[in-house]
Amino acid sequence: MLDVRLLRTDLEAVEAGIARRGGDLSQVERAAELDRAQRRVSSERDELRSRIKRISEEVAGLRRDGRIDDAEVLQAESRLMGEAEKALAAESDTLAGELRELLLRIPNLPAPDCPDGSGEGDNVVLRVVGYEPDAYGGSQRVPHWEIGSELGILDLERGAKLSGSMFPLYRKAGAQLVRALCQVALDRNRDLYEEIRPPSLVRTETMVSTGHLPKFGDDAYHIERDDLWGIPTAEVPLTSMGRDEILDEADLPMRMMAYTPCFRREAGAAGKDTRGLLRVHEFDKVELLAYATPEQAEGVHAEILERAETLIEALGLAYRVLDLCCGDIGNSSARTFDIEIYAPGVDQWLEVSSVSWFSDYQARRAGVRYRPAGGKGTGVVHTLNGSGLAVPRVWAGIVETHHRPDGAIRIPDILVPYMGGQQTIT
């Protein structure tokens, strides 16, 4: 959520930032109007409260002096003012509620160095690693769902029988590979990141804190009976770990990681490629997340990107890193780098990690603040996150990239200890 003070002190900058994203400027204008109206009504309410207080003191004085009739007249006037004050208070609360609801929908301002652009075609490719388009053999050009079915490690038909389409079912070494990927991601980051196992179902306010609600409710699974939401990513519960708390600057940056299942309805997937594991409703992921001061944020952002990138490289996958433009970053993001792997069997670049800096946008919604060392007052923390490893597309990339002419899959060296010493899937 944007700092409402920006609407008062630098409205032009807010409008320029939202315009860079291709956002709705009328929302910004309406928010500024609501803020002005709410402050005006609050001022009138406060003025009335002061007058009522002064009259109350006068009434007390008149009663002490025995001037009962004069006191009654003033008291009647005070009652009328009290009714007017209540009306103004109710109006102020209504305006404040409308303003908050609107601010919850207005996206974050992009960082100054976020590339300009209107969509994914304007994203900047920063680097490509390990990709040689002519180096892939015929066995690597087979889609992962065909390889998985042939080896009996991916059973999409039974997954659909159990839960519907886009709910994959992994078997034998395929299921073991899922577990191995999550464990290696946790192990490679445990040197700095505290491991947490948060709940997979969260309250509405937890989803609001990250910006997944109210804007993206159609993409989430909602258990209406209990008013709980299946998390789309561990970013959601981890961001709220410090909700409504004040942290000490000495404890920042605070780094956390979590393995969780993730649930996404993919309501906007119509017309998109949903074969195999390219787009699924449930998947496993290890998420990295940090709270930081504004000064620490850039370094932590680079750190998370490096950790996600080096793991993909260690898995022997070709990949590229994109600097997303203003028109393609997420609603809550100020700057995002995407890691995409090349999957030769489907001949596509697949996004496997988004590493994002959210400035103070999420923490302001969640009320996560910090007390500066030796300073006065409090500041709002900055949040950053990235996928340490998201399973389905990485699984697909491994199966296709390391598929051999004899039909077996070579297990990347880094995963062999996690696969019980097994070096191939046959």
> What confidence score (pLDDT) does residue 116 get?
98
Q: Is 238 exposed, middle or buried (0-12, 13-18, 19+ CB in 10 A)?
A: buried
Instruction: Judge whether 277 and 144 are in contact, CB under 8 Å.
Output: yes
Q: Please indicate, yes or no, if residue 113 is contained in any of the structural domains.
A: no
Q: Is 225 exposed, middle or buried (0-12, 13-18, 19+ CB in 10 A)?
A: exposed
310 and 209 within one domain: yes
293 and 244 within one domain: yes
| Residue 284 pLDDT greater than 80, yes or no | yes
> What confidence score (pLDDT) does residue 273 get?
85
98 and 129 within one domain: no
145 and 16 within one domain: no
In this prediction, residues 253-274 reach a mean pLDDT of 89
pTM of the model: 0.94
Q: Please indicate, yes or no, if residue 413 is contained in any of the structural domains.
A: yes
Question: 214: cis peptide before it, omega within 30°?
Answer: yes
Q: Please indicate, yes or no, if residue 74 is contained in any of the structural domains.
A: yes
Task: Tell me which residue has tokens 């302001």.
Answer: 364
- Pairing between strand 282-292 and 254-263? antiparallel
Number of domains in the chain: 2
CA–CA–CA angle 298, 126, 381 (5° rounding)? 15
Residue at which a domain ends, from 61, 77, 103: 103
- Average of per-residue pLDDT values in the chain: 96
250 and 397 within one domain: yes
Select from 275, 257, 231 the least CA-distant residue to 396. Answer: 275
107-146 pLDDT, tens digit each? 999 999 999 999 999 999 999 999 999 999 999 999 999 9
Select from 346, 341, 344 the least CA-distant residue to 391. Answer: 341
176-232 pLDDT, tens digit each? 999 999 999 999 999 999 999 999 999 999 999 999 999 999 999 999 999 999 999
CA 188/CA 313 separation, integer angstroms: 13
What token pair was written down for 345?
A: 């069997």
Q: Please indicate, yes or no, if residue 256 is contained in any of the structural domains.
A: yes
CA 285/CA 411 separation, integer angstroms: 19
> What confidence score (pLDDT) does residue 376 get?
85
The DSSP code sequence of 357-393 is E-TTHHHHHHT-EEE-TT-SS-EEPEEEEEEEEEHHH
For a pLDDT cut of 90, what percent of the chain falls above it? 94
290 and 358 within one domain: yes
CA–CA–CA angle 117, 119, 120 (5° rounding)? 110
Instruction: Judge whether 58 and 102 are in contact, CB under 8 Å.
Output: no
76 and 24 within one domain: yes
Sign of CA dihedral 45, 51, 57, 58: negative
Query: 29: domain CATH number?
Result: 1.10.287.40
What token pair was written down for 342?
A: 């090349």
Q: Please indicate, yes or no, if residue 110 is contained in any of the structural domains.
A: no
Order of strands, sheet of 369-371, starting from the edge strand that comes earlier in the sequence: 246-248, 369-371, 379-380
CA 305/CA 36 separation, integer angstroms: 41
Domain range for 375: 120-425
Q: Is 233 exposed, middle or buried (0-12, 13-18, 19+ CB in 10 A)?
A: buried
* 374 band by pLDDT with thresholds 50, 70 and 90: confident
* 270 band by pLDDT with thresholds 50, 70 and 90: low
Q: Please indicate, yes or no, if residue 179 is contained in any of the structural domains.
A: yes
387 and 240 within one domain: yes
CA 381/CA 330 separation, integer angstroms: 19
| Residue 268 pLDDT greater than 80, yes or no | no
20 and 156 within one domain: no
> What confidence score (pLDDT) does residue 371 get?
96
Q: What secondary structure letter does DSSP report for 252? A: -
Query: 272: domain CATH number?
Result: 3.30.930.10
Q: Please indicate, yes or no, if residue 417 is contained in any of the structural domains.
A: yes
Lowest model confidence (mean pLDDT) among 74-88, 297-311, 315-329, 378-392:
74-88
Q: Please indicate, yes or no, if residue 203 is contained in any of the structural domains.
A: yes
Instruction: Judge whether 194 and 255 are in contact, CB under 8 Å.
Output: yes
CA–CA–CA angle 124, 126, 130 (5° rounding)? 125
CA 200/CA 326 separation, integer angstroms: 31
157 and 285 within one domain: yes
333 and 229 within one domain: yes
Select from 162, 129, 160, 163 the least CA-distant residue to 145. Answer: 160
170 and 60 within one domain: no
